[in-house]
Homo-oligomer: A and B are copies of this chain.
Amino acid sequence: MTTGNMQEGNVLKPVKVGVCGLGTVGSGTVNVLRRNAEEIARRTGRPIIVEQIGARRDNPNCDTTGINITRDIFDVVSNPEIDVVVELIGGYDIARELVLKAIANGKHVVTANKALIAVHGNEIFAAAREQGVVVAYESAVAGGIPVIKGIREGLSANKINWLAGIINGTGNYIMTQMRDYGRDFNDVLKEAQELGYAEADPTFDVEGIDAAHKLTILGSVAFGIPLQFEKAYTEGISKITPLDIEQADELGYIIKHLGIARRNDNGVELRVHPTLIPKDRLIANVHGVLNAVMVQGDAVGPTMYYGPGAGAEPTASSVIADIVDIARGLDIDYANRVPPLGFTDETLDQNTPILPMEEVNTAYYLRIQAVDRPGVLANIASILSEKGISIEAIIQKEAKESQLVPIILLTHQTKEQQMNAAIADIEALADVNDEVVRIRVEGLDS
């Protein structure tokens, strides 16, 4: 490291930061560091100075007066003046190269890049350990909400049993609009794109990949397991219809797109999918672009962390919190720091498997389009019974113009593979048209 704990009067030597990427979060970070410089220095005990910015172009939303600008982000990681490299370029390959070079050069790293950490985190943390530097990533999960800190440090006394989060703001915005106005998925998505809430290519958000990146990180921090993004089960919201939202409402539930991590005797569940939650759960009332993560620990019980999950300044808030953590303890040895995933590297659990979705136990909402003929319901009930699945509630609607009636079922918990088999049998019934709609149900109550 280039700076030490040398005092100048009562104020320690500044920490010098290099920011790579000057998009939404980069400009937010530079702006907040400037605006709140005094407050931040009062908290940190030393000034935090943006020494250099690496970005392909300027950003009109960001005042960079007095800051050294380079068009080559790799200048930043080799700048000997810089203590902390802030990676805000996003993506996989270049970000990985940049971060590994920064680490090799003895820089601490702060990143908001959930894809990078979820996919290359194990390699990056090993390199950081080798060099004795910090790689901090609070802003990668749930934007401005300090939930990584909450789990790694605030709940360190607990065996975490499960967590469940609304961790993609775009998805939650779409689900909220669909519910409040009975609108179609595609209709809301198009508007969200026009308003800038959704990307031109919305795949990462609506297909659950972004949420799975974040869930992978949360799961590792909760249970002390290596990052295993490739084993997370990922299902998006594009098949959710206003009809299912309405039926769920009638049954006392709200549909949310959740990331769920749960530990049981056989392994760890890591799954992202639409989920029916009882309306009276606090997290069921988290709407629009906001995020929330419930975390259940054996000592503390259920807790929840709520706030803006994206946006320039909320994300900058967490980026800077990571910088402040580093700056407060610039001279601390690696062994005295919070380990990257909250468990010491050598005690990460390499053996506990991530369970395939077929092994997951959950309850289900099923919507079956059937011909309105006697005996259909009996056939369906008998298939479920054969598979050992018990029914909690049934709504059978009257047929309207068409001869098809929707049959809505809530089941008790069963293994996903039992449900797959039951659905295959139900779909094979002569009186059942279309695919069976299946949405998982979670009580989130203990």
Contact = CB atoms under 8 A, between A and B. Distances in A.
Contacts of A224: 39, 42-43
A36 B336 contact: no
Contacts of A337: 328-329
- Indicate how many identical chains form the complex: 2
Interface residues of A, number: 73
A320 interface: yes
A305 interface: yes
A10 interface: yes
Contacts of A318: 154, 157, 300
A33 to B, nearest CB: 8
Interface string A307-346: 1100101101111110011001111110111110011101
A304 B301 contact: no
A316 B328 contact: no
B42 A347 contact: yes
B45 A344 contact: yes
A80 interface: no
A156 B307 contact: no
Contact of A150 (B12, B149, B314): B149
A154 B321 CA distance: 6
A144 interface: yes
A185 B325 CA distance: 46
Given A153-B325, A224-B43, A335-B45, A316 B299 contact: yes
Interface string A226-241: 0000000000000000
Question: Which has the most chain B C-beta neighbours within 10 Å: A33, A138, A153, A330?
Answer: A153
Contact of A317 (B138, B158, B335, B346): B158
A303 interface: yes
A317 B336 contact: no
A299 B285 contact: no
A339 B45 contact: yes
B304 A306 contact: yes
Given A307-B304, A314-B300, A343-B42, A155 B159 contact: no
Contacts of A299: 28, 32, 36, 144, 313-314, 316-317, 320
Given A300-B314, A306-B304, A12 B342 contact: no
Nearest to A325: B153
A111 to B, nearest CB: 16
Interface in A135-151: 138, 144-146, 149-150
A5 B336 CA distance: 8
A432 to B, nearest CB: 39
A106 interface: no
Contacts of A302: 307-308
Contacts of A33: 157
B303 A145 contact: yes
A411 interface: no
A337 B302 CA distance: 29
A421 interface: no
Interface string A423-446: 000000000000000000000000
Given A42-B347, A43-B224, 5 more contacts: A5-B335, A149-B149, A282-B282, A282-B306, A329-B337
Interface of A: 5, 7, 10, 12, 28, 32-33, 35-36, 39-45, 138, 144-146, 149-150, 152-159, 224, 282, 285-286, 297-308, 311, 313-314, 316-321, 324-325, 328-333, 335-339, 342-344, 346-347
13 contacts: A5-B335, A41-B347, A45-B339, A144-B300, A154-B321, A157-B319, A158-B317, A297-B317, A299-B313, A301-B308, A304-B305, A328-B336, A329-B336
A-B pairs with the 4 shortest C-beta distances?
A146-B154, A157-B320, A303-B307, A144-B300
